[in-house]
Amino acid sequence: MHTLSVAELSKSLKNKEFSAVELTQHYLDRINRSDLNAFITVTDELALSQAREADAKLANGSGSVLTGIPFAQKDIFCTKGVKTSAGSKILDPFISPYDATLSHKLNIENMVMLGKTNMDEFAMGSSNENSFYGPVKNPWNKKMVPGGSSGGSAAAVAGRLSPFATGTDTGGSIRQPSSLCGITGIKPTYGRVSRYGMIAYASSLDQAGPMTQTAEDAALILNAIAGFDEKDSTSAPRDVPDYTKSLRDSIKSLKIGIPKEFFLEGLDSSVEKVITESMKEFEAMGAKLQEISLPNSTYAIPTYYIVAPCECSSNLSRLDGVRYGYRCKDPKDLNDLYLRSRSEGFGDEVKRRIMIGTYALSAGYYDAYYLKAQKVRHLISEDFKRAFKKVDIIMGPVSPTTAFELGAIKDPVSMYLADIYTLSANLAGLPGMSIPAGFSNNLPVGLQMIGNYWSEEVLLNAAHQFQTQTDWHSVLPENI
């Protein structure tokens, strides 16, 4: 059962080949035997209760296409009555009193939550080594990182511990772990999926999306979670199309832009070879390739690592040891309470970004750093607007390398370079996607596709057509 996609599981449940309870127990057994450290919390009792409700819906014919499908929830989404930690010690005691909108929408579909997945603390990281609960292992090679920050979700899907998982993408945190673990992941346009109840890292960059085996599965999940939410002021009041309807459309007229800046020094030659061969596959299907330029994308890393820390500095100021979460023992006074609760509760990377953001926002430095970064962000967005006057989608690598060894990168700046190809889409608010494209040294390589605003269906269509011609998305790690 665990090798089936969401679409295949949906058909099997409808045909009564097995029940939702049987399916859920199968996945729970796999999770409890796993050594990937992909989950922070496993919700056995809740999952089986939801599965029984789903079976009742399926029996009376009132279920949806997603009813009874198990999933893994990134531990950044609030889930009522379940611990929501964002991978941090400071939120380890926090039991959410309400559901995030995304959680609520999946509940409406009578889906089954298997548990909450491990992640880089407050979504800050590219390797899932920054979690209070320890690093996640990559199912393809357990000595390697799964990518981050949604590494637990990526490992859960790649290791077939869950048919799909939710993720968030602030600077590539859906696409990069999807690439490193060989699964499909899509970051929708900023504002397409509600951020209400999603613990904020950088509010103008964060966006939620599905991590799945296939593009078809991603379309099914996006249908369920996309849409306007009056509780979220950044949610866009736009109609949501049925993303499954255009999956089988021809891509013969598709114009694909290849940014020359994505193929400069720093890209591993074996990764470049896989990406180039994938582009040839699109060309063979009738798509037209042309070189384009995104000149300001080279400034994406310094721009992002000013904007994001500034926003996280503001967002995380609410975690002070007073209202909820971790509180230090026996504080001497209020100042000591603040100081020790935050010092003991936050990890090194989170502290680093808070300090950078606080400095950049301080008097005398706001104009020099934050304001200038926002101006460069605008230039990056303008580059994409010009490019999309000529092409339909932009294509290139997700990551400059395949998965690297756990503990191999100790310098924070070197780690930040892992996001060099993904950050621009977040700064511009564009939809982006990673799909399995091949292997290098027995490790997965993902192909990145970036679309124009609100064009998720174009990305999903291109991805699905690629997956009808290739089988990279169906190749499994050993012993799965």
The tokens for 160 are 């077939």
Instruction: Spell out the SS3 assignment of the chain.
Output: CCCCCHHHHHHHHHCCCCCHHHHHHHHHHHHHHCCCCCEEEECHHHHHHHHHHHHHHHHHCCCCCCCCCEEEEECCECCCCCECCCCCHHHCCCECCCCCHHHHHHHHCCCEEEEEECCCHHHCCCCCCCCCCCCCCECCECCECCCCCCHHHHHHHHCCCCCCEEEECCCCCCHHHHHHHCCEEEECCCCCECCCCECCCCCCCCCEEEEECCHHHHHHHHHHHECCCCCCCCCCCCCCCCCCCCCCCCCCCCEEEEEHHHHCCCCCHHHHHHHHHHHHHHHHCCCEEEEECCHHHHHHHHHHHHHHHHHHHHHHHHCCCCCCCCCCCCCCCHHHHHHHHHHHHCCHHHHHHHHHHHHHHCCCCCHHHHHHHHHHHHHHHHHHHHHCCCCCEEEEECCCCCCCECCCCCCHHHHHHHHCCCHHHHHHCCCEEEEEEEEECCEEEEEEEEECCCCHHHHHHHHHHHHHHCCHHHCCCCCC
Considering the candidates 173, 235, 341, 399, report the single residue annotated as catalytic: 173
User: Taking Cα atoms as reference points, which of 412, 415, 433, 421 lies closest to residue 380?
Assistant: 421
Annotated active-site residue 173? The verdict is yes
Considering the candidates 10, 131, 149, 341, report the single residue annotated as catalytic: 149
The 10 Å Cβ neighbour count of residue 440 is: 17
Annotated active-site residue 329? The verdict is no
Considering the candidates 34, 64, 74, 434, report the single residue annotated as catalytic: 74
Annotated active-site residue 235? The verdict is no
- What is the pairing mode between strands 288-292 and 208-212? unpaired
CA–CA dist 203, 313 (Å, integer): 11
148-410-143 Cα angle (round to 5): 60
DSSP-assigned beta bridge partners for residue 255: 288
For the annotated catalytic residues, the residue numbers are 74, 149, 173
